[in-house]
A and B are shown apart, each in its own frame.
Chain A
Amino acid sequence: MEFYDRITAFHLDILREIGNIGAGNAATALSKLLNKKIDMKVPDVSLVSFDEMMDMAGGAENVVVSIFFRLEGEVPGSMFFLLPLEQADRFIYQLTGEEGAAPVRYSEIAESALRELGNIMAGSYLSALSDFTSLCLYPSVPYMSIDMAGAVISPGLIETSQVSDFAIVINTELVEDEMTPGTRINGCFFLVPDPGSFQAIFHSLGVYQSE
């Protein structure tokens, strides 16, 4: 916990704004890709234990499609685009015309479509973030895994876990047309900057943490 002591509500607001800009851009990209109205929810920025982070993804055992990017550059960290299985099936159908196969066993073309979708989404999120902060961000190629949330998220916590038992997660959910009741969540982004990255983000925006 000690590492995050100096993060104030004001800092969390800044991170929320980053989530806003990033996911807003990604929602626009998805909307164009699917020719559909896509909305985003107000980003949730919180300092959570690793167990709580799995709960945010529906519980450690909840099976999700996870597209993971390791970020290098001035803001090293981990980025996840998480999709519920039903939603992944729908995306695959919309993009390739293939009916959702048995869960967790997709065809090569379906996997590739999902990976590309993740790539477009994360790319638009990160380019917005990079424009806003003028920081260089280099995402890795997209890595995909369909498995229990606990299993697919923990590899992105290796850096954070060496410093703390908590992580700051910038969580943004995308939904199809929020006006209609009972809309389904299209997917969510978890951005988990490495502990050393927060300074860079705040400095780039002219905000300094008090000592």
Chain B
Amino acid sequence: MLNKSYKNSASLALLPAHGVPPSCANPAIKIADLTVAFGGVPVLHGVDLIVGKGEAVGVVGESGCGKSVTWRAVLDLLPRSAEVSGEAWLGDFDLVGARSSVLDRVRGGRIAMIFQDPAGALNPVHRIGAQIAEALRLHRGLTGPAARAETRRLLDQVGIADAASRVNAYPHELSGGQNQRVMIAIALAGRPELLVADEPTTALDATVQAQILLLLKKIQQDTGMALVMISHDLAAVAAICDRVCVMYAGRIVEAGSTHTLLTAPEHPYTRDLIGAIPPSCGPRIRLTAIAGAPPQRHLPPGCAYSPRCRDAVAACAVARPQARQVSAGHSVHCLKAAAER
């Protein structure tokens, strides 16, 4: 199932064709100027993001930077107190403000989502086979033998050995990694165009983390589904995504192909995030510790990162940097990066 033939994204990114922004003419989802506020306090300040069909995009940043809120806002999964505005185009209709009857067909059908805690997302009193069959009935109208056959096929696809007997297991009889595989099977039941994985492996052990990430990558490549992976671990995201968006304080501050972002990061925040990860080979160097914490409630007037940025100059605290194209598909919001050219 998981074999050496995997090409991870960083090596794929070395291919020349990969620097070009992928299929933006043919997006799976196009988010434009999405803002979210809770009780008048804005938490998302205009996110623009396009995920191409069949593309794997990573979203990284610290806790509270708006990674999860972005996707929960798109799927209308936020509490009712949230004020959402902007656009999220799935094909030719806008999900923001759409009626819940319309969204019910999108959620789990065209866009599926998996979460960090699979045991919490599964129903503990139902067998996993029944939970997958429920998704098949809701999204594809399958019942009876057809649903049972498809359930077994899905369990095979997500790498659960002995699927025929495992359909009768309850979530507590499975390990965390197997439960996450079941969650992925349920997500795949509706044949989604887009799968949003929110910290899918944070709660899992190291060897299982690699298995699940590579499984997601394999499914994305096999089915042509688009994949969005949300994580605070840039290394895990970079391992399976073609493109990475770095979020800070409710905005995307840098976006580009994985290879570009890792080898030539322009935003100081991206550089600091890379420096904060203990390297897995080579000499042990001192880690980059980003002083302070992301701003809460009120943003500084200029660049939101300027109070923590080691490269900040006076101008950074005054004017908010606009997006600048460094190269095709690589954009950055930083005054300094713009000035250096």
On whether the two chains bind one another, the answer is no
List residues of chain B with CB under 8 Å of any chain A CB.
none
